Chains A and B, each alone.
Chain A
Amino acid sequence: MSVAAPPVPTRTHRRLPGWAPYVVLAGSVALTAALLLALGSLDIAPLFFVGAIVYAVAITAVSTVIEGRRWATDRLATTLVTFAFLLALIPLISLLVKVVGDGAGRFSWEFLTTDMVGIFGSMVEGGVAHAIVGTIYVTGIAGLISVPLGIFTAIYLVEYGSGPIKRGITLLVDVMTGIPSIVAGLFAYTLFLVIFGPAYKSALIGGIALAVLMTPYVIRSAEEMLKLVPNELREASYALGVPKWLTIVKVVLRTAVAGITSGVMIATARVIGETAPLLVTVGTTQAMNWDAFDGRIETLPVYVFRQYAQGGPAADRAWAAALTLLLIVMALNLVGRLVSKFFSPKGGR
């Protein structure tokens, strides 16, 4: 009994071994470095960009020769995709390094606890205490308005709403996340101008502007969280005779509280750095203003902008204030993510 011989592949594509790309990468970087040294200066930015191009060309060429055109295209695509990702990390990393590097010099406890009264010209003193208070006021007012409004809207969308009204609100909430921040500022400005007249200036106006920007974020995250609550929980509660509103308060919101909290913190981090709406509403001042409902107030982002525009020693203050702002934003983001990670109900998705 003769068994037919297995078909012999007429052409076998050899594949590059796993270490080959790294060898090509090392070779490309070395070649680029030598080239750049020969041309003059060795700098990290040209090394990165030229090196990447050299590597892309080299790996594609090597692969075309050994593996064929199809696999070469695949390797080129892999290279480009990875390069796109690394490229996007450059701004992030350089930004963090720059802000920490330039901000650390003036950043101190004294900087955080003094205001700008009596600071002028080339004086290096002065601080952000008044701006921190203003930022807390403005963001606090925005939160007081947008958190209840956002959570109740989310409850409406998930528990009560139906039909075209629900779809319409969902769509408009999404569109509202794209409102330019400066338009929100103009809205708050005109609102108070029309109702209270031109003389009224306070943190409240800025708070309203930020609330317009913050509410859609709160709605979106709260809505996502409420949708994650399993229906069985609601049904179990109804079966025990608990009214719907108590079910929502005691079961649905209790289950989703961690997610909503983290959503609110991330929404706060989003609006706390908004500059444009505050620039057109609350303006700027040198002194501490403890009254949220009367008078101009300084805020951190506006402080950063004003000091940077002034230049000289004020630019150092701008970087230190930028570091302060970044620390606040990062802390809010981090805590928000940790809360949702450790306190959310497991399962359901």
Chain B
Amino acid sequence: MATTTPPQDQTRPADKRAPGRLGNVIFKGISTTSGVMILVTLAAVAIFLLYRAWPALVANASAFEEVNFIGGNLWEWVAPLIFGTVLASVIALVVAVPLSIGIALFISHYAPRRLAQLLGYMIDLLAAIPSVIVGLWGSSWLMPLLDPVFTWLTNTLGFIPLFADYTPPARNITTGGLVLAIMIVPIITATIREVFLQTPRLHEEASLALGSTRWEMIRQAVLPFGRSGIISASMLGLGRALGETMAILLILSPGYSINLNLLEAGQHNTIAANIALHFPESSGIAVDALIASGLILFALTFGVNLLARWIINRRAEFSGAN
């Protein structure tokens, strides 16, 4: 014990004379502060939203009477919006996930190596296009294209409530969901592609050596290995779809009902699009209510993203890829 103390005492003055000590302290301080700023920012987002949303959260139905777009109390008003948000995102996921798995497989296992990188860039390019432009494209190019398909659906399968009552133009939740799907395909594809590329080479070769076809190899080696990656990628896509605003705002004709009439216009709306629609012209308690719905959206996406990242990180420890 006595012998270990003196060397410590000697290093202290040596440290003080070390070149750049002040610089080190300042630089480390700035870096650490920046890191902590991230935590502070996230906390601030939650706190400021909560602070402004509080009056609406505790108000009763009569407080909203003068606001024309809110009927009943806050929760009655928000419930259809949450439903619409989730419905649009689920439609988007149902379309985007199988498509993304296909694209990721094509890039990772089917396309020639040299071509694969270029193809990856092309899909990434889709992610770079601003959502307002995707919305413009959706409402002017995609909607007329979907019109005959929806007409056919409602004529032949209209007896199922799901497909009933379609009237053009296609300003319904399905079109919105399809456009969301196009917007989340790049993020899902990118994540799945990374996981597929990490499949142990030996697993794949072992499968092929047993005489498997390429598809059998993918089913035996690639898909089981990538399962958690596919799940977390889908959740990342879900998080993105839940918060997407402009595409929905430009396409959907809004409504406040809870039903599954996927092809009928004027039935659903999403939280984000609803905020963008009403916020600029609102004042007083209406603003508070919109911010409260934003807070709910924040909590929803935060939870989904946290879960997705948690799955990815848990997996990363085992893969040996890091």
What residues make up the interface of A, taking CB atoms closer than 8 Å to B? Answer: 45, 70-71, 73-74, 76-78, 80-85, 87-89, 91-92, 94-95, 98-99, 102, 148-150, 152-153, 155-157, 159-161, 165-166, 168-169, 171-184, 186-187, 190-191, 193-194, 212, 215-216, 219, 241-246, 248-249, 266, 269-270, 272-276, 279-280, 283, 301, 304-305, 308, 318-319, 322, 325-326, 329-330, 333, 337
Q: In the docked arrangement, what's the CA distance between A221 and B101, Å?
A: 25
Decide if the interface of chain A is mainly helix, strand, loop or mixed.
Answer: helix
B239 on the A face (CB < 8 A)? yes
A selection of 20 A-B contacts at a CB cut-off of 8 Å is A73-B216, A83-B102, A88-B185, A149-B34, A153-B37, A156-B32, A174-B305, A176-B38, A179-B243, A179-B298, A179-B301, A181-B243, A183-B243, A183-B294, A186-B291, A186-B294, A273-B130, A279-B280, A322-B133, A329-B128
Residues in chain A near residue B103, CB distance under 8 A? 81, 84-85, 88
* Given contacts A77-B215, A95-B134, A176 and B42 within 8 Å (CB-CB): yes
Least distance between B227 CB and chain A CB atoms (Å): 18
Least distance between B163 CB and chain A CB atoms (Å): 19
Whether B240 and A182, one on each chain, are in contact in the complex, defined by CB atoms closer than 8 angstroms, is: no
Residues in chain A near residue B206, CB distance under 8 A? none
What residues make up the interface of B, taking CB atoms closer than 8 Å to A? Answer: 18-21, 23-24, 26-28, 30-35, 37-39, 41-42, 44-45, 48-49, 51-52, 98-99, 101-103, 105-107, 110-111, 119, 121-123, 125-126, 128-137, 140-142, 145, 182, 185, 189, 213-216, 218, 236, 239-240, 242-246, 249-250, 272, 275-276, 279-280, 290-291, 294, 297-298, 301-302, 304-306, 308-310, 313
Q: In the docked arrangement, what's the CA distance between A141 and B156, Å?
A: 54
Whether B133 and A182, one on each chain, are in contact in the complex, defined by CB atoms closer than 8 angstroms, is: no
The 6 A-B pairs at the shortest CB distance, nearest first, are namely: A273-B130, A180-B243, A243-B20, A84-B102, A245-B27, A152-B34
Kindly count the residue-residue contacts between A and B in the assembled complex, taking CB atoms under 8 Å apart. 270
Least distance between A172 CB and chain B CB atoms (Å): 6
Q: In the docked arrangement, what's the CA distance between A280 and B305, Å?
A: 24
Q: In the docked arrangement, what's the CA distance between A176 and B38, Å?
A: 9
* Given contacts A91-B182, A98-B137, A175 and B302 within 8 Å (CB-CB): yes
Whether A172 and B215, one on each chain, are in contact in the complex, defined by CB atoms closer than 8 angstroms, is: no
Q: In the docked arrangement, what's the CA distance between A266 and B204, Å?
A: 35
Whether A279 and B133, one on each chain, are in contact in the complex, defined by CB atoms closer than 8 angstroms, is: no
Least distance between A139 CB and chain B CB atoms (Å): 12
Q: Smallest CB-CB separation from A305: which chain B residue?
A: B132
Q: Smallest CB-CB separation from A332: which chain B residue?
A: B128
Which of B21, B31, B137, B236 contacts A156 (CB under 8 A)?
A: B31
Residues in chain A near residue B276, CB distance under 8 A? 182, 276, 279-280
Which of B136, B213, B275, B280 contacts A186 (CB under 8 A)?
A: B275
